[in-house]
């Protein structure tokens, strides 16, 4: 395309709230055949809520709230909000540690306590009944965190985040254009699959640590031209690795800086609009 056509294209995008950093980005969009989405905050609203507490509810929520008090993870915010709503008093803990993609741990009464997924457990025990309850909740598209002390899981907290209204329409539009859609998440396979089914996303790559997300994009790039859509600090490496990085406008500054395209209106359907714009721009001179 001529420089003028590129300016027209990026200018049109800007008017629609699709900020395209330069003409080269717009050109790459035209080649994209696979769109990979982050889950939390991208496909879902990103404001998860506690739905179920299994075990001695007060004890489980108190311990979890104590541990999550210093975490800013969306799951931590959900737990803290629930504890506040239930007027739970959560005394401070020492030796707090956040483990990316796993959970948090700290010392409580001189013992190691934790909230997170099974990667945090090492050799801790979870009894069969809790295990079954966990699987049931996960099939309901709920993220389940294990709460434990020493070597024992004392309970579960299920947390649910709802898909954005536009997510299903966005994935339908991309699929009718013949593109492949994938969800990439650190969450559990069952939960991710349940949400993907709800919004019509083709494939799921789950249980991925934040540091491994960019590697998953690289693997896909062996066969596909990949756009990645994300919003979080953790998403920045995947955004820069992808052929086209698309950041949500409401995302963190780090994600916005890493994206070649920013969706100012936070509307996932604008991924398809960007594709249409690129086709128009590069189709014109063909």
Does residue number 161 form part of the binding site for ligand ADP (CB under 6 A)? no
Does residue number 116 form part of the binding site for ligand ADP (CB under 6 A)? yes
> Where in 218-237 is the site for Mg ion (CB under 5 A)?
231-232
Residues in Cβ contact with 201 at an 8 Å cutoff, skipping those fewer than 6 apart: 37, 43, 171, 181, 182, 183
Does residue number 193 form part of the binding site for ligand ADP (CB under 6 A)? no
Q: How many residues bind ligand ADP (CB under 6 A)?
A: 22
Residues in Cβ contact with 277 at an 8 Å cutoff, skipping those fewer than 6 apart: 9, 12, 13, 16, 18, 26, 29
Residue 231 contact partner, candidates Mg ion, ligand ADP, none, CB within 5 to 8 A by sort of partner: Mg ion
Tell me whether residue 56 or residue 72 sits nearer to ligand ADP (CB atom).
Answer: 72
The 10 Å CB-count burial string (b at 16+, else e) for 145-154 is bbbbbeeebb
Tell me whether residue 24 or residue 72 sits nearer to ligand ADP (CB atom).
Answer: 72
CA pair distance 55, 177, nearest whole angstrom:
47
> Where in 38-77 is the site for ligand ADP (CB under 6 A)?
39-40, 68, 71, 73, 75-76
Per residue, what are the HEC states of 4-66? HHHHHHHHHHHHCCEEECCHHHHHHHHHCCEEEEEHHHHHECCCCEEEEEECCHHHHHHHHHH
CA pair distance 221, 199, nearest whole angstrom:
24
Does residue number 187 form part of the binding site for ligand ADP (CB under 6 A)? yes
What SS3 state is found at 160? strand
Residue 278 contact partner, candidates Mg ion, ligand ADP, none, CB within 5 to 8 A by sort of partner: none
The least distance separating ligand ADP from the CB of residue 118, rounded to whole angstroms, comes to 8
> Where in 210-269 is the site for ligand ADP (CB under 6 A)?
210, 232, 234
> Where in 25-64 is the site for Mg ion (CB under 5 A)?
38, 40-41
Q: How crowded is the C-beta side of 178, counted as CA atoms within 13 Å?
A: 6
Residue 164 contact partner, candidates Mg ion, ligand ADP, none, CB within 5 to 8 A by sort of partner: none
Annotated catalytic residues are 38
The least distance separating ligand ADP from the CB of residue 145, rounded to whole angstroms, comes to 5
Does residue number 117 form part of the binding site for ligand ADP (CB under 6 A)? yes
CA pair distance 35, 266, nearest whole angstrom:
16
Q: Which residue has the tokens 């690795």?
A: 241
The least distance separating ligand ADP from the CB of residue 227, rounded to whole angstroms, comes to 18
Distances (CA, A) of 170 to 114, 175, 204: 37, 9, 16
Helix axis angle for 167-176 and 189-199, nearest 10°, is: 70
Tell me whether residue 23 or residue 210 sits nearer to ligand ADP (CB atom).
Answer: 210
Please report, as ranges, the residues that interact with Mg ion according to CB under 5 A: 38, 40-41, 231-232
Please report, as ranges, the residues that interact with ligand ADP according to CB under 6 A: 39-40, 68, 71, 73, 75-76, 101-104, 115-117, 143, 145, 185-187, 210, 232, 234
């Amino acid at each position: 395309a001529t420089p003028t056509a590129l300016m027209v294209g990026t200018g049109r995008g800007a008017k629609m709230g699709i900020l395209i950093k330069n003409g080269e980005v717009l050109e790459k969009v035209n080649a994209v055949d696979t769109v990979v989405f982050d889950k939390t905050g991208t496909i879902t609203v990103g404001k998860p809520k506690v739905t179920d507490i299994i075990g001695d509810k007060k004890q489980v929520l108190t311990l979890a709230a104590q541990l999550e008090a210093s975490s800013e993870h969306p799951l931590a915010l959900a737990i803290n909000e629930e504890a506040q709503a239930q007027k739970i008093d959560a005394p401070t803990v020492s030796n707090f540690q956040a483990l990316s993609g796993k959970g948090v741990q700290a010392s409580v009464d001189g013992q190691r306590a934790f909230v997170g997924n099974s990667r945090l457990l090492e050799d801790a025990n979870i009894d069969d009944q809790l295990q079954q309850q966990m699987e049931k909740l996960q099939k309901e598209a709920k993220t389940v965190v294990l709460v434990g002390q020493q070597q024992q899981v004392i309970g579960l907290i299920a947390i649910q985040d709802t898909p954005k209204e536009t997510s299903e329409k966005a994935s339908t539009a991309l699929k009718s254009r013949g593109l492949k859609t994938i969800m990439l998440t650190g969450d559990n396979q069952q939960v991710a699959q349940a949400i993907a089914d709800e919004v019509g996303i083709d494939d799921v790559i789950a249980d991925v640590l934040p540091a491994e997300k960019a590697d998953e994009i690289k693997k896909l790039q062996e066969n596909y031209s990949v756009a990645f859509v994300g919003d979080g600090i953790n998403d920045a490496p995947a955004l820069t690795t992808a052929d086209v990085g698309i950041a949500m406008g409401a995302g963190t500054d780090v994600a916005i800086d890493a994206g070649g395209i920013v969706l100012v209106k936070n509307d996932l359907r604008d991924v398809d609009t960007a594709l249409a714009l690129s086709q128009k721009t590069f189709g014109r001179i063909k």
